[in-house]
Amino acid sequence: MIAIDDTINSDDLGKVCFVCNLGICKGACCVEGDAGAPLDEQEISELEDNLDYIKPFMNQAGIDVIEQTGVFDYDSYGHYVTPLVNGIECAFVVFNEEGIAGCAIEQAWEAGKSKFRKPVSCHLYPVRISRYNDFDAVNYHQWHICRPALELGKKLNVPLYVFLKDSLIRKYGEKWYEKLRRSIENSDNPS
């Protein structure tokens, strides 16, 4: 484990190689599972504030769910998550011509229409954060649907902390990321 500021980080961030391979997995992490993407309370406000800009990028089934239930739901633990269409896919999922799942929230952001990129939990996946009173536990979430990402990451030799650089900086800041990077790289090359 790597302790940085108020976080305890799994050694997997430096040891597991990972690069999403959407051509093979088709974005299954947005479609499979037992609940929507985890949301922070702040993100619910951001989704609500930007919803009019996001809706044009959504499919009708997702819009129907959002109009009926709102931009969030609860998982079995009572945590905020994105709502699901038919209990399966995230309400914000859209599919391209190749059947690859994408994110309407991120598409609106990329088009310059929305100020909200997407939930940080999506941006950080396959890393999940568990919050405790005094710290965050930052851990790699292993899921069989990501096997193609593990294979591509190993082939390209890209560890998780490198693959997730932008999202880790978004969550914890550049100074934190530099501490993580140095800690991982120093543990790989002891003096």
Q: pLDDT tens across 68-98, in order?
A: 999 999 988 899 999 999 888 899 999 888 8
Q: Is the confidence at residue 143, as pLDDT, over 90?
A: no
Q: Is the confidence at residue 189, as pLDDT, over 60?
A: no
pLDDT-derived band at 101 (thresholds 50, 70, 90) equals confident
The residue type found at 53 is Y
Nearest-CA neighbor of 164 among 132, 126, 110? 126
pLDDT tens, residue by residue, 11-42: 999 999 999 998 888 888 888 877 888 999 99
d(CA 120, CA 164): 11
Asked if 138 contacts 129 with a C-beta cutoff of 8 angstroms, the reply is yes
> Is the link from the previous residue into 126 a cis peptide, with omega within 30 of 0?
yes
DSSP assignment, residue 19? -
The residue type found at 64 is D
Asked if 170 contacts 23 with a C-beta cutoff of 8 angstroms, the reply is no
Q: Which pLDDT score, from 0 to 100, does residue 191 have?
A: 45
d(CA 191, CA 188): 10
Q: Which pLDDT score, from 0 to 100, does residue 188 have?
A: 62
